[in-house]
Structure 1
C-alpha cells in the first residue's frame, strides 16, 4: 500500500524553542549541537527543485534559530540522485557535519538505474517533510478532469504524454498507479522525464506534453496564475487552502505521498550521528522551520534515527514492487 497521510495530520504541536526564560529574565537561546557549527548540505539534484528547496529551507531555519553559524550547499544533479549519491558515499565519508537531502525519488531512481550504490550505505538521520503530488494540464487543454485524462489514456496511451521528474521517481510512479487504477497497462505510460521542475513547467506551458505530475509546491504558482489547470491531488482527502479535488474522489483509487529527509555519510561517529539527530529535532520544533513548512505547503512527518532507518528499508522494498509493475524494476 502507498504511504499516505493527511497534510495536517502530522503537523507538530511542539513548543517553540527559545520560548522559555533564562536566569536574569533574558530569553533562552537554542544551544547549538556539539560539533555542527558549520553544516555542509549535499543536494544530489540541480538547483531549484524540491531537494534544493529543502536544503535552502534547512539552512534558513537553522540560521534563524541560532542553531548553526553557517551552511554550505553543494549541488550534484543527475538521474534522480543516482549521479550524486556515489560521490556523497565515497568522497564525503566520515564527515560529521555533512547531511545529504534526498527522498522517495532517489529510492526509485536507484532501482531504475540499477545503481551499484544504495541508500542503505548512508546513515539515515531524519525524515522531515512530505508533499502530495498534483496532476496538471495546460490551461488551454481540452482535458478538464481526471476522468477526461483517463478516457484519453485508455483510448490511446501513446498519445497521452506525462511530464515529470526522473524516470522511476515519485511522478513516474504516480502516473503508473493511475494507469493501473483506470484499467490500463502501466508499462504503456508515455512518460517524459525532465531534470527539474523548471524544464517540465516549460514543456507544459508550451503545450509540448499532455499533462504533468509533480509535488504541489512546484506547480502551485502556475496553478494560481491560471496558466496550469490542476486535475487532481494525490491526497487521501481535500486539503485546506488547496482547491483541488483528490484523484480518489474522482473515481480513481490512488493515493501517494512524497517524502524528503536527510542522511549522513557512511563512517560517521556515533556521537556525530546523535548530534545530527538532535539538531534536526531542534529545527523541527523551531518557529522558523514551521514558517518554512507553511510557506511551501509541506507537511511535517518527522521521524528520526533507528525508526527512520527501518522506514527506508521498507520503502526500498515497496517502491521496488511498484517499479516492477512499470517494467522498470
Structure 2
C-alpha cells in the first residue's frame, strides 16, 4: 500500500474536523435575557435559515442582557478575530447608547440586515379601571408620579412611546414614573401584581397574556390596526398622534472580513425571501422590514439621528 493511500483517510478526517471547527466559530450575541424579542429574533432566524438550507452549520448563542443591549454589544465590540461573529440589536439600542453614555459606535459594526418591525402596545391589568387609552392618559395627567409604567430599558422604544404619549396628553415628560424591566415577562408580572399601572412592549411579548385574560391591551402605536389583532385600536384612533416601531436587525463584528460580510448579507437576503422565515414572522406577529447590508447601514445612521432627536425633545437626553 502506498504512503499516499495510507495518508488519505487521515487527510480526510483532518479536513472534516477543520470544517467542523470553522462552523463552530459562528457565534451570535443576543444582548438580552432569554425569552425576549431579541433572543427570539436571533434564535428563530438562524433556525429558519437552517430549515431553508441556507446555512446548516452550528451556531453558538450568548445571552448578555441589560442596559438596552449596550452591555452585550459592548462585549461584542471588544471581541476580535472571529470572522463569523453576529449580534442582534434594534431600535432600543439607539436610545440606550445615549441614555447610558455608552462607548458603543454602531457605525463601526458591519451592517448585515434589518429583519423585522414590531409596533408597541400599551397594556393594563385585566380588571384595571382604565378601559381605554384616554382613561389611562387622564390618570397619568392627574398623577404622573403615582402611575408607574414599565417597559424596556430607559431610552428604548417603549420609553420613547410613553414620552410621546405624555406629550400628546399634556403630561410633563420629566414627571413620568417609568420603570425599566428586564423583559416583557417581567413587565407582565408587574402589571398583574399591581406594582405597575401599565406596561409597554411589542405585541408578540404581550399577546399570549392578553389571550389568557391576565392583561388587557389598550392600544398600538401602528398607523393602522394590525391584521393579526384587528380588535386593538391605534393610539391615533384614541386621539393621540403617536406612531413608532421597534425594528430589529443583525450586525457583523467590527473586524468581520469583507467576504464574510457579503456572504452573511446574501444569506439573510435569502432568508427574507424564504417561506420558513415568513412562517416564523406570521406565527410571532412580526412585520417584515427587510433591508440588506449598506442600505441598512444608512438606515441606522438616519434612525440614530431621529431617535436621539426625540429623546432630546422629550427631555430624556440633554
- Fold shared by both chains (TM-score > 0.5): yes
Is the 8 Å Cα contact of residues 217 and 232 (structure 2) preserved in structure 1? Answer: yes
Deviates most, 151-160 or 251-260: 151-160
Is the 8 Å Cα contact of residues 24 and 60 (structure 2) preserved in structure 1? Answer: no
3-state SS in 1 of match to 2:26:
strand
2:277 maps to 1:280: no
- The residue number in structure 1 matching 2:44 is 57
Query: Equivalent residues in 2 for 1:85-164 (5 A)?
Result: 85-91=73-79, 93-164=80-151
1:227-249 deviations in Å (ceiling 9; x for gaps): 11111011101111302011101
3-state SS in 1 of match to 2:59:
strand
2:251 maps to 1:267: no
2:275 maps to 1:323: no
Is the 8 Å Cα contact of residues 94 and 265 (structure 1) preserved in structure 2? Answer: no
Deviation for aligned residue 1:309: 0.5
3-state SS in 2 of match to 1:250:
coil
Query: Equivalent residues in 2 for 1:115-264 (5 A)?
Result: 115-242=102-229, 243-264=231-252
2:292 to 259, 281, 304: 304
**CA distance in structure 2 between the partners assigned to 1:188 and 1:182 by the alignment:** 13
Going by fraction, where is helix more abundant, 1 or 2?
Answer: 2
**CA distance in structure 2 between the partners assigned to 1:62 and 1:199 by the alignment:** 30
Is the 8 Å Cα contact of residues 133 and 238 (structure 2) preserved in structure 1? Answer: yes
- The residue number in structure 1 matching 2:11 is none
Deviation for aligned residue 1:36: 6.5
Larger radius of gyration: 2
Is the 8 Å Cα contact of residues 186 and 325 (structure 1) preserved in structure 2? Answer: no
- The residue number in structure 2 matching 1:28 is none
3-state SS in 2 of match to 1:70:
coil
Name segments (4+ residues, structure 1) moved above 6 Å: 35-38
- Between the two proteins, the alignment pairs up a number of residues equal to 294
Deviation for aligned residue 1:95: 2.2
| 1:102–1:109 distance in 2 versus 1, CA, 3 Å | same
TM-score by length of 1: 0.87
**CA distance in structure 2 between the partners assigned to 1:181 and 1:94 by the alignment:** 48
Q: Which runs of 5+ in 2 are unaligned?
A: 1-21
Deviation for aligned residue 1:325: 2.8
3-state SS in 2 of match to 1:274:
helix
3-state SS in 2 of match to 1:82:
helix
3-state SS in 2 of match to 1:73:
strand
**CA distance in structure 1 between the partners assigned to 2:24 and 2:71 by the alignment:** 28
**CA distance in structure 1 between the partners assigned to 2:267 and 2:91 by the alignment:** 22
**CA distance in structure 1 between the partners assigned to 2:278 and 2:104 by the alignment:** 34
TM-score by length of 2: 0.90
1:7-48 deviations in Å (ceiling 9; x for gaps): xxxxxxxxxxxxxxxxxxxxxxxxxxxx86863211111111
Is the 8 Å Cα contact of residues 94 and 269 (structure 1) preserved in structure 2? Answer: no
Q: Which runs of 5+ in 1 are unaligned?
A: 1-34
